[in-house]
Structure 1
Amino acid sequence: MAEKGLDSYSVQEKKETSYVFPLSDDEKAKKRIQVHKFKGKILFDIRELYCKDDEWLPGKKGISLRVEDFKKLKELMPLVEEAIVALGGNLDDDSE
């Protein structure tokens, strides 16, 4: 499967561009990652969305991270992956 470019994830919201990435190949999946601006700050959201009038809207379930938090998350990901494997998880395929 070919990688999509960033523009294919671009969404216009209130005159601002944001980027929305589904966490599944299923188009109807509710969990999404969104990178957007709010009150002048860039935020990274992992959130469950809901569909209303053919538009995906953010739900209450989720978390918003500032860029500083996202940097720390990236730094911790190798340890998180190691912990998943240590607990018996398999990161090499789609199984859990």
Structure 2
Amino acid sequence: MPKSKKYVESSDDSSDSEPKSEKKVSKKSKRENSDVEASQSKKPKKEKKEEDNAWDLGNNRQVTVREFKGKLLIDIREMYYDKEGELKPGKKGISLNTAQWRKFVDAVADVDEAVKSMC
């Protein structure tokens, strides 16, 4: 059935609805762009810090000093290669806070003596 002239004229004269939809799109695209920029800017900084503060122990093990949730941690962890060939930390390992690390360092001399006496 054909539409009445009033209905066609009122639906065609909807200039107010078009800018609203454009505004919604533009707000959304701005938000998406800022989220993408933020995630891109954060990623390289994080990787750079960990690379600078990492020491290889051999056999795919590594010591890393990093910050997590505002706390300084010392990670002693097995590493693995992901599908893209990047070296990633694995599940096997331990994270020590600074107090635990100090106790560990103090015990190293005693542990070293025990190892020498067993050999």
- Name which one, 1 or 2, has greater alpha-carbon Rg: 2
Q: Secondary structure at the match of 1:42?
A: strand
1:31 Cα deviation from its structure 2 partner: 0.6
State whether structure 2 residue 90 is matched by structure 1 residue 59. yes
2:68 maps to a residue whose letter is F
Corresponding residue for residue 46 of structure 1 = 76
Q: 1:41-62 deviations in whole A, cap 9, x for unaligned? A: 1111110010111211110000
1:20 Cα deviation from its structure 2 partner: 1.2
Point out where structure 2 has 5 or more consecutive residues left out of the alignment: 1-41
Q: 1:41-90 deviations in whole A, cap 9, x for unaligned? A: 111111001011121111000000001111001111110100101111xx
Corresponding residue for residue 73 of structure 1 = 104
Instruction: Count residues with an aligned counterpart.
Output: 72
Normalised to the residue count of structure 2, the TM-score between the two structures is: 0.56
Q: Secondary structure at the match of 1:44?
A: strand
Which runs of structure 1 show a deviation greater than 4 angstroms over 4 or more consecutive aligned residues? none
Larger strand proportion of the pair: 1
The counterpart of 2:57, out of the listed 16, 23, 35, is 23
| Greater relative CO (CA pairs within 8 A, separation 6+) | 1
Percent of pairs with identical residues: 38
Normalised to the residue count of structure 1, the TM-score between the two structures is: 0.69
For 1:75 and 1:33, how far apart are their aligned partners in 2? Answer: 17
Point out where structure 1 has 5 or more consecutive residues left out of the alignment: 1-12, 89-96
Corresponding residue for residue 6 of structure 1 = none
How big is the alpha-carbon RMSD for the aligned residues of Structure 1 and Structure 2? Answer: 1.4
